[in-house]
Amino acid sequence: MKPVTLKQIAETLGISITTVSKALKDYPDVSKKTKRLVKDLAETLNYKPNAFAVNLRTRESKTIGLIIPEVVHHFFSNVVKGIIAQAEKKGYLVIILQSNESYELEKKQINLLLSKQVDGILISIANGTADFSHLQTAMENDVPLVMFDKIAKIVNCSKIIIDDRKAAYTATKHLIDSGCKKIAHFRGPLMPQNSIDRFLGYKKAIEDHGMLYDSSLVYICEKVNFDEGKLFAQRLVKNHKDVDGIFINGDLVAVGAISALNELGVSIPDQISIVGFSNWFMSSAITPSLTTIDQPGYKMGKKAFKLLYKELKAKKRKQEILPQTVELETTLIKRNSTK
């Protein structure tokens, strides 16, 4: 069955196509009686506006692109929920793509979104991204871009972030305040800014409290997964028997570390205390439950879309878009993995 058109509604009611269009849009110069007749018939005939024609007229696709490193990650799944919740309120479709922490894939996905003529792009960059020319290309094509969580400071666009350095400092200080004398750090890869800042926060807390920084106590997680947590915990116990605290870059790694320490018979927190980062759902389910930094994923997603939507409106009004950075608060959630 062919879609119902404005022309068919107009001919049935004996009025002009323009009047039908205005009635459906609630123009004030159309009578209430005519509006009711038009809307009732449109509902009876199951009339749907031609989205393609609307997009051509408004020069909007009413779609945005979202690129995240991992869909299954608890933090990013919460971000996606926050973005979709806000996007639906404003009538936007969200195209969700996963970069798998690959720069090459991320670059292809930006080009794909541009070819689909999305109105704007939200992105948390991959660990492997060091060249940001593909992001510059998007902005040069007049497509508003907002970065969140894993960002590039040198890209001049709006960003939604947390203070990773401050949060890491808080986590490490909690270990120190609870009595830890020698604290290791399982950090993320060398490249992402949030991984760098969490390491720097750890290092500063160590030095501020009169402890000697020891690079051999820092383990680099390339994949930031459960298996790396287990492996590095095993190595730590073997090579540094006097370590009594670990600050870990992500909760998935921390859960792996707890699993290994439990298997080795190391008492948590009596022998080693652990603080994670993110507050994903397994943090409270594992034994002992994990003390962690709560990273507000859902709120970050909502804020990211709201900021992008603000820029989309400014673009439509031909106003200058001034990039801004919004910083969200984090909280230390104390559980049983620390004293």
Q: Which residues pair with 246 in a beta bridge?
A: 184, 274
Q: pTM above 0.85?
A: no
CA nearest to 80, candidates 307, 270, 297: 297
Q: Where are the domains of the chain?
A: 6-49, 59-161+297-331, 164-295
CA nearest to 205, candidates 262, 167, 253: 167
Confidence band (pLDDT; 50, 70, 90) for 1?
Answer: low
Identify residue 77 by its one-letter amino acid code. Answer: S
> Which residues lie closer than 8 Å to 224 by C-beta, 6 or more apart?
188, 189, 249, 250, 252, 253
Detail the DSSP E strand segments found in the chain.
Answer: 63-68, 93-98, 120-123, 145-148, 158-162, 183-187, 218-220, 245-248, 273-278, 291-294, 325-328, 331-333
pLDDT of residue 36: 92
> Which residues lie closer than 8 Å to 171 by C-beta, 6 or more apart?
201, 202, 247, 275, 277, 292, 293, 332
Burial code (b: 16+ CB inside 10 Å, e: under 16) for 259-286 equals bbbeeeebebbeebbbbbbbbbebbeeb
- Asked if pLDDT for residue 100 goes beyond 70, the answer is yes
Q: Give the pair of three-digit tokens for residue 126.
A: 């991959």
Q: Give the pair of three-digit tokens for residue 236.
A: 């730590």
Superfamily for 59-161+297-331? Response regulator (3.40.50.2300)
pLDDT of residue 293: 98
Residue keyed to tokens 């439950």: 289
pLDDT of residue 192: 86
Domain 164-295 coded CATH 3.40.50.2000: no
Per-residue pLDDT reduced to its tens digit, 152-200 = 999 999 999 999 999 999 999 999 999 999 999 999 998 889 999 999 9
